[in-house]
Structure 1
Amino acid sequence: MTALSRISANSNTEHGPETATGRARTRAPRPGAIAAWLLGVAALVVAMVVVGGITRLTESGLSITEWKPVTGAIPPLGRADWQAEFELYQRTGEYRTVTGPAGMDLAAFKFIYLWEWSHRLLGRLIGLVFAVPLALFWLRGAIPEGYKPRLLALLALGGLQGAFGWFMVRSGLSVEMTDVSHFWLSIHLLTALVTLAGLVWTALDLRRLASTGDNAPARLTGPAVAVGAVLVVQLVLGAWVAGLNAGLASDSWPLMQGRVVPEVDWSRGAFFAATHDPFFIHFLHRWWAWIAAAALIVLARRAKPLNPAVARTIHVAVGTQILLGIATVLTGVSLWIAVAHQLVGALLVASFAWGAHVIGRRDQAIPLATRPVTGPARAAANP
């Protein structure tokens, strides 16, 4: 063999396997990296909920009257553009009935417009932060087996969130309306919170896969479903309180108007009162909170033997949320206290997802050495 041949052979021996290994490493599943990415997206969804809360509390949601998914990312750049947007807003019932008679000028309109624009821009950013890395992970073969449908479902939920947001805005644009539909508001908010819970749950499954190699997803147990249902009722009531401005129905606690049960208009029936009367909805949200708190504490107690950290997190989130809810009432819906209330509500949903995930792995939390040996393993151990 010539010297040149030996050099070529050595080069192939040294670099060939390394290159193949590098290609294998590039295409190997990366559950840890995907979990970190999903938790980052979850943090952005929490920020989205906060900005959405500010948008609602400042009555900014109807300031942008058109749906422009791409060009809408650019705000008005000159006075003529601002004036054109203001004129579109002046056609709404909200302006004609509420903000116009109150003396809203162009400067005040810019304030509410920029909050709504920021809310929509953050939604676009979340879409990009999810879709682009998802495509890259997919093309590189980095998504573990069984997770592609889940990730596509989360992407679809994000798309629905944007669509529901527009349906919500459109519901308030007629001259007869002075606000968005509180039903669409609750759908919009719940979709965001379900997406948040799904992101956290999937990230936890992937973190376990990365640390233990166990690719079996956590189960959604009966107790978790029950607690989740109680929590959903409270979240819907909270959205209706926001949509109907029912937080202003009382500035005292625990009584409303000096009574336990406020005066309610029952003339159109109990169902209408429970879905439209701001005083009764405020009352329901105020007292259902204790049922939700009890349910979450039960969940925390079930999770504590398996993961004390999640139990502490749920307890802190529940206590903080109740205190902020009371403070929101007593301050007459102070902007930043109400925003903090909504922030902790989103964090409470994330902590619920964590706790439900923990108890969904109860059987898998038993140390391997103490598990009963069954099936082929038992037969092998006892020939």
Structure 2
Amino acid sequence: MNAKSPAPQISLARPVAIANWLFVVATMVVIIVMVGGITRLTESGLSITQWNPVTGVLPPLSEQAWQAEYNLYRQTPEFIYEAGPAGMTLSDFKFIFFWEWFHRLIGRLIGIAFALPLAWFWIRGSIPKGYKLRLLALLALGGLQGTFGWLMVRSGLSGTMTDVSHFWLSIHLLTALFTLGGLVWTALDLRALARNAAARPSRLTGVAILAAMVLFLQLLLGAWVAGLNAGHASSDWPLMQGRFIPEYDTTKGLFWAVTHDPFLLHFLHRWWAWVAVAALVWLARCVRKTDRRASKAVHSAFGTQIILGIATVMTGVELWLAVAHQLVGALLVIATAWAMHSAGRRDGTAL
């Protein structure tokens, strides 16, 4: 009598469902990056002086509560040296409070939107082999993002600084963008796995690493420009105040100038952009034959970003143009992660 063959095991892994969930979270990250830009541009970031993870979900619900929050804000250097002398009213305070509160609310929603489905997929055994640690790392990055956000706010609540530290602002923003890239990369790996059970994760290629490094530096410069309000250093283009290279302060050394002088940082950000364009064109050309959509996405994103950057400068940092510039920056990160992933696909095919 022939022995019965073992019944085939049915995999509980759901790579498509997890990939779709990660794309939803990535969309939320893009939204919070955009709202973060509004928060920065409206000088709203220091309006909430405390971090209350639970009770802070609700805004003030009475005039007495509003007055209490306003009184706390009135003790900050930003109010003492800038907002107060400018004649800020309680109504003005409510406007800036809203954007910081909304920014924090979206951050909380992202945490819930990531942690709860992750637990659900984990309990049901739906996470494919080899992806649990990666998903936990993305969760940890989200937690770090919240911590960095509070450290950024705290940096502007004492001393004589009327803004948050541009270093902490860059850490806060770049962590969000790095997490965004990780979400997209992981989702693309899972989609490849859904198409082919033997698919291996995409690898980093030399051109992808180079493009990522060049783009990282451009994003870092952009964050410093935002943190130091250096976008206002010039409203003409391609020259700055009638000169190609503007005057900048070197009395404290070149390193200080590169990291603190708004004129030099504005200059570096606007011209390093073309180095980033060259690196991204190279990356896009590398994947043009295997993934034409990724190549087009990179070209479209950096083209739009350049136009928005110039328009932002020439309009004296018009609010919605500057916000669009930051939004498209996040979309450029997505497009770059997509192209980098395609460049490292082991099967050489597009998703």
If the length of structure 1 is used for normalisation, what is the TM-score?
0.88
Query: Closer, same or farther in 2 for the Cα pair 1:165/1:131, shift >3 Å?
Result: same
2:194 corresponds to 1:194? no
Q: Which structure has the highest helix share of the two?
A: 1
Give unmatched runs, 5+ long, in structure 1. 1-19, 368-383
Work out which of the residue numbers 67, 86, 94 in structure 1 matches 2:70: 86
Letter in 2 for 1:182: H
2:348 corresponds to 1:365? yes
2:259 corresponds to 1:285? no
* Residue matched to 1:330: 314
Residues in 2 aligned to 1:159 and 1:57: alpha-carbon distance in whole angstroms: 24
Work out which of the residue numbers 276, 282, 306 in structure 1 matches 2:290: 306
Q: What secondary structure is seen at the aligned counterpart in 1 of 2:240?
A: coil
Letter in 2 for 1:271: F
Q: What secondary structure is seen at the aligned counterpart in 2 of 1:101?
A: coil
Work out which of the residue numbers 259, 275, 280 in structure 1 matches 2:243: 259
Residues in 2 aligned to 1:214 and 1:307: alpha-carbon distance in whole angstroms: 20
Larger Rg: 1
8 Å CA contact 1:62–1:169 kept in 2: the answer is yes
Residues in 1 aligned to 2:273 and 2:332: alpha-carbon distance in whole angstroms: 12
Work out which of the residue numbers 320, 325, 336 in structure 2 matches 1:341: 325
* Residue matched to 2:209: 225
8 Å CA contact 1:42–1:199 kept in 2: the answer is yes
8 Å CA contact 2:291–2:349 kept in 1: the answer is no
8 Å CA contact 2:290–2:349 kept in 1: the answer is no
Shift of 1:175: 4.0
Residues in 1 aligned to 2:157 and 2:349: alpha-carbon distance in whole angstroms: 56
CA RMSD after TM alignment = 1.4
8 Å CA contact 1:61–1:169 kept in 2: the answer is yes
Shift of 1:182: 0.1
2:85 corresponds to 1:101? yes
8 Å CA contact 2:46–2:156 kept in 1: the answer is yes
* Residue matched to 2:4: none
* Residue matched to 2:169: 185
- The 5 A counterparts of 1:1-383 are 28-361=12-345, 363-365=346-348
Per-residue displacement from partner, 1:3-36 (whole Å, max 9, x unpaired)? xxxxxxxxxxxxxxxxx99xx86x7100000000
Residues in 2 aligned to 1:138 and 1:210: alpha-carbon distance in whole angstroms: 18
Residues in 1 aligned to 2:189 and 2:67: alpha-carbon distance in whole angstroms: 50
If the length of structure 2 is used for normalisation, what is the TM-score?
0.96
Query: Closer, same or farther in 2 for the Cα pair 1:207/1:265, shift >3 Å?
Result: same
Shift of 1:122: 0.1
* Residue matched to 1:4: none
8 Å CA contact 1:91–1:175 kept in 2: the answer is no
Residues in 2 aligned to 1:258 and 1:270: alpha-carbon distance in whole angstroms: 23
Q: Which consecutive aligned stretches of 4+ in structure 1 deviate over 3 angstroms post-superposition?
A: none
Shift of 1:366: 6.8
* Residue matched to 1:15: none
Letter in 2 for 1:365: G
Residues in 1 aligned to 2:240 and 2:250: alpha-carbon distance in whole angstroms: 17
Per-residue displacement from partner, 1:282-340 (whole Å, max 9, x unpaired)? 00000000000110010000010111111111001111000000000000000000000
8 Å CA contact 1:208–1:214 kept in 2: the answer is no
Residues in 1 aligned to 2:69 and 2:222: alpha-carbon distance in whole angstroms: 31
Matched residue count: 344
